[in-house]
Chains A and B, each alone.
Chain A
């Protein structure tokens, strides 16, 4: 077992614009990027969910520094920075559209809710207007500015996680086989389960590969790396992948931001190698002491253990 603690609570001041057109189409613009963070997915999800639309209805525009400011992607900050800004813009849009609907329906805005693409009266749910019927009255495309809020004072914000690994060690050859890893993380609200699980599987694979195989082998005499290719620099293959079980605690902390969400960039990678190393220690009673835990190093560790009185 090994645990992790990480920042990943996002950057206050991140901006996003949500633009609604008279034909009902929606754009979200944000100067962020998708380097594998699932940014396009979560922007569309958050905007669609707030506006009761489908993700396919949202056109996500990112990867351009002319768009509203967002931080770089690093330190697990993309989702908890960008998603709350999108949420903020979308909530403002809903309020504005409720005002418009209230005039057409001749009812106070407080009596109006948006559900299933329709503005309806709480007092008389038979009465209502479709989303498109409301937005067609916009005189021009309406832009709503969203911003990720600041943190409340006197709190620290972190993600937490723990990995549990099961390994088999062949004590005659020193070969380690990782059988199963259960990876539990507290990242607040899970915005999208598919991409979150995928991120855990990726981080675990990377950490398992580093724990067992990957090594840059340098040669002092020629001053070169002797294994500068993906055959000799060994990355795990599909044959080496264990059963992986991602688990999310899904505790929503509203003090974090308007979504209660934290980031999941580094967290699955952080305890991945260490949990395997600790499982190896648990299996053979001696630590190989460094990664990658190659057969040579495991055999060496076992000899060290034998040599002890």
Chain B
């Protein structure tokens, strides 16, 4: 572990103006559950760690006219326990409560969860220089890849592991991003970027920007949503595959639906093909299974992760099916 300077700004403005100077390799830290292990394992070597925890008034869940606002420093545990979230956004409640373990949910924050780095044992090995760290190749592509991407892979097959991101994208949430120039709100559906855009990072944040808040549109009558995470063991495990689905149901018809998968691609992966096949039709197990199969025809599994295609199909059928049955 290399030594680093420690900065503890007292406001978002101080953070962005610090980042604007741009003369040092600065990394933002909230709960620290991901960042500190990256430092310890030699994956990154910051010059400065910018601790966001001292910033006041960034931990909240507020019901407002245009939806619910969640402060970036709200912990995952607070999100999981919040009655508004539980009532209005089952998909987000269900996603938050299965993140990692109770200890990590107590430390990890909403902003941090959305900005965590991907999971790949080659990327997380300080000795391996892969494409994501400026190297020339992805070691997973022809190496050990049972947990790697089955969709959207290419120059990097690391999967994006966040549980909250697929749920929030399914809910059409936006991230409020602060920069020295001010604030902008970006749909989370446009927040993540595939490896081909810039393999070194996973989202659109510039080096001077920080997520300040997440805004979720108000829940409507007829909204149904659900999150299912498939893991190998009972706790402290990232998703092998996960599915977030939000639908507008009227009778037995799925008027509208958004399906976003986690753990299967380098970014949260929206299954538009499945959505299009399901939308506006009477829901049935057969329809949902056909739509899932059709959407997964694009999957390109590697040598050891073919089972993830089968798993994803099963979890899709169960999650989407649960919207209609609920």
B-binding residues in A (CB < 8 A): 172-175, 212-213, 217-222, 224, 226-227, 231-232, 234, 236-240, 294-296, 299-300
Which of the residues A174, A221, A234, A240 comes within 8 Å of B307, measured between beta carbons? Answer: A174
Find out whether the CB atom of A234 lies under 8 angstroms from the CB atom of B128: no
Contacts A239-B234, A295-B311; A222 near B240 (Cβ below 8 A): no
Q: Do B307 and A231 have beta carbons less than 8 Å apart?
A: no
Contact call B144/A226, Cβ cutoff below 8 A: yes
Task: Using A173-B311, A221-B139, A296-B307 as known contacts, say yes or no to A234 and B232 having CB atoms under 8 A apart.
Answer: yes
B236 & A237 in contact (Cβ 8 Å cutoff)? yes
Q: Tell whether B146 is near chain A: CB-to-CB under 8 Å.
A: yes
Chain B count of residues within 8 A CB distance of the other chain: 25
Knowing A221-B143, A294-B232, A296-B307, the reply to whether A234 touches B121 (Cβ < 8 A) is no
Q: Contact at A231–B122, with CB atoms within 8 Å?
A: no
B233's partner among A172, A218, A237 (CB-CB below 8 A) is: A237
B237 within 8 A of A: yes
By Cβ-Cβ distance, the 8 closest A-B pairs, closest first, are: A239-B234, A226-B121, A296-B307, A237-B235, A172-B314, A240-B234, A239-B235, A299-B307
Contact (Cβ within 8 A) B307 A237: no
Contact between B233 and A212, CB atoms less than 8 A apart: yes
**Residues B144 and A300 in contact, CB atoms below 8 Å apart:** no
How many residue-residue contacts, CB under 8 A, span A and B?
71
On chain A, the residues within 8 Å of B142 by CB distance are 221
Query: Quick one: which of B144, B233, B236, B315 contacts A217, CB cutoff 8 A?
Result: B144
Of chain A, the residue at the smallest CB distance from B41 is A229
* Shortest beta-carbon distance from B84 to chain A in Å: 27
CA distance in complex: A234, B234 (Å): 11
Kindly name the residue among A221, A232, A296 whose own CB sees the greatest number of chain B CB atoms within 10 A. A296
Question: Does B183 sit within 8 A of A, measured CB to CB?
Answer: no
Per-residue interface assignment for chain B, residues 274 to 306, with 1 indicating a CB less than 8 Å from any chain A CB and 0 otherwise: 000000000000000000000000000000100
A98–B76 alpha-carbon span in the complex (Å): 69
Closest to A292 in B: B232
Q: Does B13 contact A (CB under 8 A)?
A: no
Cβ of B235: which chain A residues have Cβ within 8 Å of it? 237-240
Binding site for A on B (CB under 8 A): 101, 121-122, 125, 127-128, 139, 142-144, 146, 230, 232-237, 240, 304, 307, 310-311, 314-315
Task: Report how far A250 CA is from B144 CA in the complex, Å.
Answer: 48
Given the complex of chains A and B, what is the CA–CA distance between A172 and B318 in angstroms? 11
What is the CA–CA distance of A231 and B304 in the complex, to the nearest angstrom?
20
Residues of chain A contacted by B236 (CB below 8 angstroms): 231, 237
| B314 lies within 8 A of A234 (CB) | no
Given A212-B233, A213-B233, 12 further pairs, Cβ under 8 A: A172-B314, A174-B307, A175-B230, A222-B122, A222-B128, A224-B125, A226-B121, A226-B144, A231-B236, A234-B233, A295-B232, A296-B304
B127 contacts A234, C-beta separation under 8 Å: no
Contacts A231-B236, A234-B232, A237-B236; A299 near B310 (Cβ below 8 A): yes
Q: Which residues of B contact A217 (CB under 8 A)?
A: 121, 144, 146
For the complex, give the distance between the alpha carbons of A173 and B143 in Å. Answer: 24
A175 to B233, CA, bound (A): 9
Q: Chain B nearest CB: distance from A14 CB in Å?
A: 41
| Of A174, A220, A222, A237, the contact of B234 (CB 8 Å cutoff) | A237
- Nearest residue (CB) in B for A209 is B233
CB–CB B240/A295 < 8 A: yes
Contact A232–B307 (Cβ < 8 Å) = no
* Complex: chain A residue closest to B100, CB-CB: A231
Nearest opposing residue in chain A for B101, CB measure: A237
Are B233 and A236 in touch, CB under 8 angstroms? yes
Which residue on B lies nearest to A234, using beta carbons?
B233
Query: B233 touching A300 by the CB < 8 A rule?
Result: no
Q: Is the CB of B307 within 8 A of A300?
A: yes
Roughly how many angstroms separate A224 CA and B122 CA in the complex, as a whole number?
A: 10
Inter-chain contacts of B143 with A (CB < 8 A): 219-222, 226
Q: Complex: how many Å from CA A218 to CA B121?
A: 11
In the assembled complex, the Cα of A173 lies from the Cα of B125 at a distance in Å of 29
Collect the chain B residues with CB atoms within 8 Å of residue A174's CB: 307, 311
**Closest A residue, CB atoms, query B313:** A172
**Can you spell out 28 A-B residue pairs with CB atoms less than 8 angstroms apart?**
A173-B230, A173-B311, A173-B314, A173-B315, A213-B233, A217-B121, A217-B146, A219-B139, A219-B143, A221-B143, A222-B125, A222-B139, A224-B127, A226-B121, A226-B125, A227-B121, A234-B237, A237-B101, A237-B234, A237-B235, A239-B234, A294-B232, A295-B232, A295-B240, A295-B307, A295-B311, A296-B304, A299-B311
Q: Taking the nearest CB of chain A, how far is it from the CB of B119, in angstroms? A: 9
In the assembly, what is the distance between CA of A239 and CA of B101, in Å?
A: 10
Is A239 a contact partner of B307 (Cβ separation < 8 A)?
no
In the complex, how many angstroms separate the beta carbon of A296 from the nearest chain B beta carbon?
A: 4
Q: Which chain B residue has the least Cβ–Cβ distance from A237?
A: B235
What separation, in Å, do the CA atoms of A300 and B311 have in the docked complex? Answer: 12
